[in-house]
């Protein structure tokens, strides 16, 4: 029996039954789950497999309770949008940002232990979830590679949280925030001629919670990074990263007593004391030295390259989108 006939029993996929109004074609929204599936089968799955859809508006969210069909299923797959899950311990909130591709099981009880934490959910951008219930999960078992892909994402999510925790241990507030911005840009960043756009509604309060900084410290550090030309406010409460990622053991050169120690170089191309070429727009100090001269080869010019003949900007920074069309 071929794969096409196997899918006739899928919920919402029968050729003779019209899809429900709350149905969504999961693999059209998340084609990466089919990376290990052959072309014909992948095309069929994108076209025919559906799941129930759950739309979340901006604001506090109370997740659904764990009825049997949900508890025995994979969970809720985020198709688009942005959700924040926070754990509060001793009146301090520790948030986690979740977006497209993340698999949630919010009905799972917090593990019992000697330290008690309270979990809350908030939708930061309008979000679409696919309900991978018991029936959907049973039918997907015919293609184990999809299950493996979802398991791999859970592993990536835990590693991203560990990296976020490591970033929060950085001593200098400016370096900590700038590293956090680039960590988030690795997943959500978009390359533009102006820099790497981070289209997330990151308030000073939320950034402080992500970086384990008090709100006044966060606001002061952000102001210094703006003056240094490392970041700028973007549209829709987002941010634009204008420089390049800090590298290992590097501190952002924005001393508290010299908030203007770094300026954006608008003069023609120059050569620093270390022999590195600087393009107009690079961040240098008043002596013409680049703060990253001796720190590695992360190629800031790749982030500011001109469009190619097709009008596309090609990203050569791992993790970011490979090609973005200019609008």
Which contacts of 144-153 are long-range, i.e. CB under 8 A and separated by 24 or more positions? 145/35, 145/36, 145/37, 146/33, 146/34, 146/37, 148/36, 149/32, 149/33, 149/35, 149/36, 150/33, 150/74, 150/77, 150/103, 153/101, 153/102, 153/103
Share of the chain above pLDDT 90, in %: 54
> What number of residues does the chain have?
327
Tell me, what's the pLDDT at 57?
Answer: 97
Backbone φ and ψ of 312, nearest 5°: -105, 150
Same domain, yes or no: 258 and 289: yes
Structure tokens at 23: 């149905």
Residue 39: give the domain boundaries.
Answer: 3-166
Higher-confidence position of 215 and 296: 215
Same domain, yes or no: 176 and 157: no
**Which of 151, 166, 181 is the endpoint of a domain?**
166
Same domain, yes or no: 125 and 26: yes
* Residue 253: pLDDT band with limits 50, 70, 90: low
Same domain, yes or no: 162 and 179: no
Beta strands 103-104 and 118-132 are unpaired
Same domain, yes or no: 183 and 289: yes
Domain CATH number, residue 84: 2.60.120.10
Q: Which residue has tokens 């926070």?
A: 86
Same domain, yes or no: 56 and 75: yes
**Which of 116, 148, 166 is the endpoint of a domain?**
166
140: nearest Cα among 24, 40, 16, 6: 6
**Which of 166, 187, 218 is the endpoint of a domain?**
166
CA 161 to mean position of chain CA atoms: 12
Same domain, yes or no: 291 and 237: yes
248: nearest Cα among 287, 298, 286, 198: 298
131 has which bridge partners?
52, 76
pTM for the complete prediction? 0.72
Q: What residue spans of the chain are helical by DSSP H?
A: 3-6, 26-29, 39-48, 68-71, 134-140, 144-167, 173-188, 204-211, 215-227
Check the CA dihedral 42-47-53-57 and report its sign.
positive
Same domain, yes or no: 151 and 67: yes
CB atoms within 10 A of CB 68: 9
278: nearest Cα among 294, 260, 261, 300: 300
- The number of domains in the chain is 2
Same domain, yes or no: 227 and 315: yes
Same domain, yes or no: 297 and 218: yes
Range with the lowest mean pLDDT among 34-38, 73-77, 260-264?
260-264
> Distance between CA atoms of 140 and 136, rounded to whole angstroms?
6
Same domain, yes or no: 194 and 113: no
Rg (CA), the chain: 23
Q: Average the pLDDT over 233-255 and give the result.
A: 75
Structure tokens at 313: 């900007």
Same domain, yes or no: 13 and 154: yes
pLDDT digits (tens, 9 = 90+) for 258-292: 433 333 333 344 444 445 454 444 444 333 434 33
Contact 252, 245 (CB under 8 A): no
Chain mean pLDDT for the chain = 77
């Amino acid at each position: 029996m071929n794969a096409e006939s196997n899918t006739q029993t899928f919920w919402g996929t029968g050729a003779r039954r019209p899809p429900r109004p709350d149905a969504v074609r999961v693999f059209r929204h998340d084609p990466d789950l089919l990376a290990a599936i052959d072309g014909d089968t992948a095309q069929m799955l994108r076209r025919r497999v559906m799941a129930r859809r759950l739309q979340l508006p901006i604001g506090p969210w109370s997740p659904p309770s764990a009825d049997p069909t949900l508890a025995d299923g994979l969970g809720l797959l985020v198709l688009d949008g942005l959700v924040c899950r926070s754990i509060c311990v001793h009146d301090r909130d520790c948030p986690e940002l979740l977006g497209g591709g993340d698999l949630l099981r919010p009905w799972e009880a917090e593990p019992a232990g000697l330290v008690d934490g309270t979990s809350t959910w908030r939708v930061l951008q309008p979000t679409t979830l696919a309900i991978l219930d018991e029936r959907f999960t049973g039918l997907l078992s015919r293609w184990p590679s999809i299950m493996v892909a979802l398991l791999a994402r859970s592993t990536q999510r835990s590693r991203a949280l560990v990296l976020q925790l490591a970033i929060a241990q950085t001593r200098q507030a400016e370096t900590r925030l700038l590293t956090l911005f680039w960590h988030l840009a690795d997943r959500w960043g978009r390359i533009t001629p102006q820099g790497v756009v981070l289209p997330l509604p990151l308030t000073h309060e939320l950034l402080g919670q992500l970086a384990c900084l008090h709100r006044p410290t966060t606001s002061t550090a952000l102001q210094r990074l703006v003056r240094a030309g490392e970041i700028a406010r973007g549209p829709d409460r987002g941010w634009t990263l204008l420089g390049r990622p800090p590298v290992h053991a590097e501190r952002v050169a924005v001393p508290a007593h010299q908030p203007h120690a770094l300026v954006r170089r608008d003069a023609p191309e120059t050569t620093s004391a270390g022999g590195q070429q600087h393009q107009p727009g690079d961040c240098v100090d008043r002596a013409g030295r680049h703060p990253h001269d001796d720190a590695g080869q992360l190629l800031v010019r790749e982030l500011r390259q001109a469009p190619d003949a097709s009008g596309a900007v090609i990203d050569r920074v791992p993790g970011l989108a490979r090609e973005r069309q200019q609008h």
